[in-house]
Amino acid sequence: MASRIPRLLAILCTGVGMSVAGLIMQQLCMNKFVSPSTGATISSAQFGILLALIYMSNSTLWGRTLFAFVFAILGTWIFVCLIQRIQFKDVVMVPLVGIMFGNVITGLTNFLAYKYEMTQALSTWLVGHFSMVLRGRYEIVYMVIPLVILAFIFADHFNIVGMGKDFSKNLGVPYNLVLFMGLTIAAMITSAIVTIVGSISYIGLIVPNIVAMFKGDRIRGTMIDTALFGALFVLICDIIGRIIIMPYELPIELIVGILGSIIFVILLLYQLKNGRKAVRFGKRGDAG
């Protein structure tokens, strides 16, 4: 129980947090392909953690979390500023630019890690896993809960901002304030999870899209479903990871990576086959 209860709570927080962060980012950027992993959030958080490890070698978990926060927020802001300045010919270009932007940051991270011989230590933060979740070193993950509640309170605002700058001004919603606040919430959720669990790709991308297929785009209505489905998804993946090579376990990132890739490709092909109405991927047209 001493090890399983923290683990269960961490799993639930991760699932809820990552999927809500993905939902917020997709809504605010008006693009169904944006998520913490395709929007440079995760790679910036890793960069922050590495800097904390190198320059403050006796830093506590809190110190690392702070670094991860700052860099994740900065990275996400810069990315969103970039994609707002640019007119995209196709929605798919937004995540491609995000991935390349993430590659730049990862390149920096790798360079520093290579220079200080920390690449293998870094891979602890590159691979999400729950095996180190023990009492005393996982509590930061609880920060996800107030952030998610905050996101829920502002859900309608995010929805309005997602309809565009002019529209939200018409309705009296301060566009930039809500946009950057929403991004900050998403980035903080992501970096809290990256510090404790490690990076887990795809959850923020897939879960909101699957839920939106059935529930539509109104964020207040879908946020609870997204959160629950995210928790369920991570829980199932974790159980699979623990069963396959019992009594050892596979890191969650591997399971999510494999399952997530397959689900994502299936969704994509399904959408292409059945037209844009079937799945709401990129229904809103161009971003920015």
For the chain, first and last CA: distance in Å? 48
Counting contacts by CB under 8 A, is residue 277 touching another protein? no
Counting contacts by CB under 8 A, is residue 37 touching another protein? yes
Q: Quick count: other Cβ atoms within 10 Å of Cβ 93? A: 17
**CA-closest candidate to residue 193, choices 22, 3, 55, 5:** 22
Contacts to another protein from residues 106-145, by CB under 8 A: 107-108, 110-111, 114-115, 119-120, 123-124, 126-127, 129
Figure out which of the listed residues 3, 84, 261, 274 binds another protein, where binding follows CB under 8 A.
Answer: 261
Figure out which of the listed residues 70, 228, 236, 268 binds another protein, where binding follows CB under 8 A.
Answer: 268
Figure out which of the listed residues 47, 69, 71, 101 binds another protein, where binding follows CB under 8 A.
Answer: 101
Piece of 20-28, 51-59, 100-108, 211-219 that binds another protein (CB under 8 A): 100-108
* Smallest gap from residue 109 Cβ to another protein (A): 10
Half-sphere exposure of 260 (CA within 13 A, CB side): 22
Q: Which is nearer to another protein, 56 or 265 (CB)?
A: 265
Tell which phi-psi region holds residue 163, choosing left (phi > 0), alpha (psi between -120 and 50) or beta.
Answer: alpha
Residues 6+ apart with CB under 8 A from 202: 35, 37, 256, 257, 260, 261, 263, 264
Q: Which is nearer to another protein, 157 or 208 (CB)?
A: 208
Figure out which of the listed residues 55, 62, 90, 137 binds another protein, where binding follows CB under 8 A.
Answer: 90
